[in-house]
């Protein structure tokens, strides 16, 4: 097999373990401070438990040229930051023509989607879900269950990640654990951001 042309690897579809990847990175609690519904809860948790990993990404990198695709597996650990379920930062693609595909492998949660016009919706992401995200939608995944949420992703290598707007304003809604149930509420930070 010529690795410059073909990639064929084993993928454990039960546990979501990938046999080979070129980059592994993780996002810790402190890196979500600006993205959290309540950043005081981030500080409190770090004081109590230290700065732990919220999610990890196993990626197969490819050259950033038209036609290439980057793909891999993300694992979000279960838990809450205050009331807010563990989540990915979320981002827009710089290249609005670049869509993305997610396939749920293990666990359950929600994908939050929004565009620059303020349209917002959610999709269930669980084992067996297949979600196509058109290029203009920012996307975030929230783990609402008690186990790891694992999913496969694939996107054009030229997509580019834009985190700034999400860092500044967040998503229109957040997913909180209220009396043990995932509850979607308005994000005050987003509303304030729109007004200023």
Ligand X SMILES: O=P(O)(O)OC[C@H]1O[C@](O)(CO)[C@@H](O)[C@@H]1O
Q: Which residues bind Fe ion (CB under 5 A)?
A: 100
Asked if 100 touches ligand X (CB under 6 A), the answer is yes
Sheet holding 149-156, edge to edge: 23-28, 53-60, 69-76, 149-156, 100-106, 130-133
Between CA 149 and CA 54 the distance in angstroms is 11
Please identify, using beta-carbon distances, which residue of 91 and 176 lies nearer to ligand X: 91
Return the residue of 75, 91, 173, 189 that touches ligand X, per CB under 6 A: 91
What does 89 bind: ligand X, Fe ion, none (CB cut-off 5 to 8 Å by kind)?
A: ligand X
- Rounded (5°) CA angle 33-83-44: 50
Between CA 138 and CA 185 the distance in angstroms is 18
Which is nearest to 32 in space by CA: 51, 48, 50?
51
Query: Candidates 7-15, 87-95, 113-121, 186-194 — which segment interacts with ligand X by CB under 6 A?
Result: 87-95
State in angstroms the smallest separation of the CB of 136 from Fe ion: 12
Query: Candidates 46-54, 85-93, 109-117, 169-177 — which segment interacts with ligand X by CB under 6 A?
Result: 85-93
**If you write DSSP's letter for every residue of 44-76 in order, what string do you get?**
HHHHHH-S-EEEEEEEE---SSTT-EEEEEEEE
State in angstroms the smallest separation of the CB of 97 from ligand X: 15
Please identify, using beta-carbon distances, which residue of 42 and 149 lies nearer to Fe ion: 149
Between CA 92 and CA 164 the distance in angstroms is 9
Which residue is closest to Fe ion by CB?
A: 100
What does 156 bind: ligand X, Fe ion, none (CB cut-off 5 to 8 Å by kind)?
A: none
Please identify, using beta-carbon distances, which residue of 91 and 173 lies nearer to Fe ion: 91
Grouping H, G, I as helix, E, B as strand and the rest as coil, residue 111 is strand
Subset of 8-27 contacting ligand X (CB under 6 A): 27
Q: Using DSSP bridges, classify how beta strands 92-93 and 161-162 pair: parallel, antiparallel or unpaired.
A: antiparallel
Q: Which residues bind ligand X (CB under 6 A)?
A: 27, 57, 74, 88-91, 100, 153, 155, 161
């Amino acid at each position: 097999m010529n690795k410059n042309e073909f990639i064929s690897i084993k993928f454990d579809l039960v546990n979501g373990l990938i046999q080979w990847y070129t980059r592994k990175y993780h996002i810790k609690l402190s890196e979500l401070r600006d993205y959290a519904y309540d950043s005081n809860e981030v500080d409190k948790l770090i004081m109590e438990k230290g700065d732990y990993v919220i999610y990890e990404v196993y990626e197969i990198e490819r050259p950033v040229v038209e036609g290439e695709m980057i793909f891999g597996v993300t694992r979000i650990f279960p838990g809450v930051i205050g009331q807010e379920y563990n989540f990915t930062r979320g981002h827009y693609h710089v290249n609005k023509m670049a869509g993305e595909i997610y396939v749920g492998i293990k666990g359950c949660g929600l994908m939050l989607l929004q565009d620059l016009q303020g349209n917002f919706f959610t999709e269930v992401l669980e084992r067996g879900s297949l979600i196509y995200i058109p290029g203009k939608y920012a996307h975030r995944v929230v783990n609402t269950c008690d186990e790891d949420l694992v999913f496969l992703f694939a996107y054009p290598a030229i997509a580019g990640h834009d985190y700034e707007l999400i860092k500044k304003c967040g998503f229109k809604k957040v997913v909180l654990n209220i009396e043990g149930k995932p509850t979607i509420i308005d994000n005050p930070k987003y509303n304030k951001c729109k007004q200023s």
